[in-house]
Chains A and B, each alone.
Chain A
Amino acid sequence: MTSSTLPKQSDERIVQAGLLKRLLTRPELGALGGALLVWLIFAFLAGNRGFLTLQGTASYLEVSSYLGILAAAIALLMIGGEFDLSIGSMIGAAGATIAVLSSVFGVPLWLAALIALVVALLVGFINGTMVIRTKLPSFIITLGSLFILRGLTIALTRIFTGRTQIGSLDQLPGYDVLRLLFGGSIPIGGANFPISIVWWIAITALATWVLMRTRFGNWIFSAGGNADAARNVGVPVNRVKITLFMATATAAWLVATIQLTVVKSADTLRGTQQEFIAIIAAVIGGNLLTGGYGSAIGAALGALIFGMVRQGIVYAGIDADWFQVFLGAMLIVAVLVNNFIRDRAEKARR
């Protein structure tokens, strides 16, 4: 970022920072390298078994897209200095809300989806308000809501329907609207790219824009960087954090709605463990666990790595049991790389 309006002053102590050095200060760098590496590995292992075809690409992008939507919202929240472990349960809750409202109470599906959105916003608001009011770590509060939400979802769904799964949703009124928005796909060169990929890209772009180019983005960084310092200059830290909790719950709702539309059913157990995988994707993408630093693009790259590995293992014919081993190892390596990069960000240009 250079400005031409100022006279150029030179200081002999300053060494011009090269492009590589500047890149090394970006949070996404580690994830970008990781994504390229993973792609190369599976291009080598499974290149002749369909990994490199358009359909193969579409299949790992679809897996990535669900996670990526969650990871983008989680990244913003983590940069804002908080966690949300309840999003996995929120996915199940949103899906069950839509299905129960529609199949038991006859609400059109599109309206049921809107009502579920309101429920999600409310859950996010309650999470955020609890964290602010109690001053407890959000890890604890949302760990609580993880179980409360999941339990409520299973119990209420069973009360209303006698089951924990609700199928044949495409027979219900209002399904067309959902399919148009969430269930379609775009054919490119004979392969079908699900519309969830478009949602993923749009939400990552929106999150990046908010973070880098809006006042609110600046407030998110400051809320996670040093909440007291931010308050002292008038940043409404509490409002920022509550809004971010509402955003993560909304992301969970969106994923739930897309999945429900695609598979035409709801399952109260859907989304289990997604909260951890979303956090892993965000961390792989360079988002600091302690807040104040990170990027939504990094989270998208983290989700991309996840999708490529999950599908790549299948294409390569490796036993899928190894997936979790890889996921855990990836997390630890990513944190080590990110610490290194953050140190560079603080010191490299000194």
Chain B
Amino acid sequence: MATTPLLEVRNISKYFGSVIALNDVSMTVNESEVMCLLGDNGAGKSTLIKILSGVHKPSQGEYLVEGKPVDFNSPRDALDHGIATVYQDLAMIPLMSITRNFFLGSEPTKGWGPFRRFDINFASQTARSEMAKMGIDIRDPSQPVGTLSGGERQSVAIARAVYFGAKVLILDEPTAALGVKQAGVVLRYIAQARARGLGVIFITHNPHHAYAVGDRFTILKRGRTFGTFTKDELSREEMVRMMSGADELDALSHELSEFARRDAAAARIDEQLVEALEEAEELFEKEGSPLKEG
């Protein structure tokens, strides 16, 4: 190996009682790289990122950060090693201001002894300028995060992680609940984080989002890994097939074409209905209510 990966797991397994959530999974992330972690629901994505972010400990296997083995006891440990996780729904506290969210847990202070206090001016200015670096203009950092859109919230969380010196950014389904435009905003921040030299682990089950920004792809299915592929090795179609399994996909496409045929039939009926209604309406307008007269 020429360069040491920023983050590496070797043969990680995780058991919850008799359930094998992860089985012999290996993965690496390098500097300035977006590693996409793909898989359907229940594939083990969440378990893997919980291990990476220090929430769970692996039952077996090794976890290395910059080549050194680590043993995290809490998310704080992982943060201290430069591994920041942005959770899909737990990222922000809606009723707290952008500034307070941005610096939560790492508040800047000034003053001394009992007069040590939260330096809110510095915090507000920093939050504002860090967001500006990501291309978002927040005019009032004291506004509650609840007033931001989903994509903006994600970008506050990403900006926060970058500001606090994250080397590896783990993004848990950041585009899942977003519209096309908002998802595009988040994808742009992922690309920006990579440009700044961060290693990004991007968890998604949307292959289109993954393909847009990913450099390498690790595919999980039922707790096992299918291996890691570079963009050249893997077309988007192949990726989709691997994620869901080829047979299931064939069945699905068959099902979809069946839907399409039914939809076409339904559409014809709709058209006829509309025409009939329009005719009736014209009649109604000309002659008043036929019921009353009859």
Complex interface residues of chain A between 214 and 260 (CB less than 8 A to chain B) = 214-215, 217-219, 221-222, 225-226, 228-235
Structural contact, B137 and A9, CB atoms closer than 8 A? yes
User: How far is it, in angstroms, between the C-alpha of A11 and the C-alpha of B138 when the chains are bound?
Assistant: 10
When distances are taken between beta carbons in the complex, the residues of chain A under 8 Å from B74 are: 234
| New contact pairs (18) apart from A17-B140, A214-B118, A346-B147, CB-CB < 8 Å | A1-B121, A6-B125, A14-B139, A214-B116, A215-B107, A218-B100, A218-B104, A221-B93, A222-B96, A229-B87, A230-B93, A230-B105, A232-B90, A233-B75, A234-B75, A234-B79, A293-B95, A349-B143
Structural contact, B93 and A226, CB atoms closer than 8 A? yes
Min CB distance B227 to A, Å, is: 30
When distances are taken between beta carbons in the complex, the residues of chain B under 8 Å from A6 are: 125, 128-129, 132
Quick one: closest A residue to B89, CB to CB?
Answer: A229
Structural contact, A350 and B147, CB atoms closer than 8 A? yes
Task: Say what secondary structure dominates the interface of chain B.
Answer: loop
Complex interface residues of chain A between 1 and 37 (CB less than 8 A to chain B) = 1, 3, 5-6, 9, 11, 14, 17, 25
Interface residue ranges, A against B (CB under 8 Å)? 1, 3, 5-6, 9, 11, 14, 17, 25, 209, 212-215, 217-219, 221-222, 225-226, 228-235, 288, 292-293, 342, 345-350
Structural contact, A213 and B120, CB atoms closer than 8 A? yes
Structural contact, A229 and B140, CB atoms closer than 8 A? no
User: How far is it, in angstroms, between the C-alpha of A226 and the C-alpha of B146 when the chains are bound?
Assistant: 13
When distances are taken between beta carbons in the complex, the residues of chain A under 8 Å from B143 are: 349
User: How far is it, in angstroms, between the C-alpha of A267 and the C-alpha of B216 when the chains are bound?
Assistant: 73
Structural contact, B105 and A234, CB atoms closer than 8 A? yes
Quick one: closest B residue to A5, CB to CB?
Answer: B125
22 of the cross-chain contacts (CB-CB < 8 Å) are A1-B121, A3-B124, A3-B125, A6-B132, A11-B137, A209-B117, A212-B120, A218-B96, A219-B105, A221-B93, A225-B96, A226-B93, A229-B90, A231-B75, A233-B105, A234-B74, A292-B93, A293-B95, A346-B144, A346-B147, A348-B147, A349-B143
8 closest Cβ pairs, A-B complex: A225-B93, A233-B105, A234-B76, A234-B105, A346-B146, A215-B107, A229-B90, A3-B125
Structural contact, A225 and B125, CB atoms closer than 8 A? no
User: How far is it, in angstroms, between the C-alpha of A270 and the C-alpha of B96 when the chains are bound?
Assistant: 38
Q: B34 near A: Cβ within 8 Å?
A: no
When distances are taken between beta carbons in the complex, the residues of chain B under 8 Å from A230 are: 93, 104-105
A6-B128, A292-B96 in contact; A235/B104 too (CB < 8 A)?
yes
Min CB distance B171 to A, Å, is: 14
When distances are taken between beta carbons in the complex, the residues of chain A under 8 Å from B128 are: 3, 6
When distances are taken between beta carbons in the complex, the residues of chain B under 8 Å from A225 are: 93-96
User: How far is it, in angstroms, between the C-alpha of A226 and the C-alpha of B156 when the chains are bound?
Assistant: 17
User: How far is it, in angstroms, between the C-alpha of A348 and the C-alpha of B90 when the chains are bound?
Assistant: 23
Structural contact, B144 and A345, CB atoms closer than 8 A? yes
User: How far is it, in angstroms, between the C-alpha of A53 and the C-alpha of B139 when the chains are bound?
Assistant: 47
Min CB distance B79 to A, Å, is: 6
User: How far is it, in angstroms, between the C-alpha of A228 and the C-alpha of B116 when the chains are bound?
Assistant: 26
Structural contact, B95 and A234, CB atoms closer than 8 A? no
Quick one: closest B residue to A347, CB to CB?
Answer: B147
User: How far is it, in angstroms, between the C-alpha of A76 and the C-alpha of B129 when the chains are bound?
Assistant: 31
When distances are taken between beta carbons in the complex, the residues of chain B under 8 Å from A342 are: 95
Min CB distance B128 to A, Å, is: 6
Structural contact, B104 and A233, CB atoms closer than 8 A? yes
When distances are taken between beta carbons in the complex, the residues of chain A under 8 Å from B147 are: 346-350
Min CB distance A17 to B, Å, is: 7
When distances are taken between beta carbons in the complex, the residues of chain B under 8 Å from A229 are: 87, 90-93
User: Which one of A14, A217, A232, A293 lies within 8 Å of B87 (CB-CB)?
Assistant: A232
User: How far is it, in angstroms, between the C-alpha of A292 and the C-alpha of B104 when the chains are bound?
Assistant: 13
Structural contact, A221 and B96, CB atoms closer than 8 A? yes
User: How far is it, in angstroms, between the C-alpha of A14 and the C-alpha of B141 when the chains are bound?
Assistant: 14
When distances are taken between beta carbons in the complex, the residues of chain B under 8 Å from A5 are: 125, 129
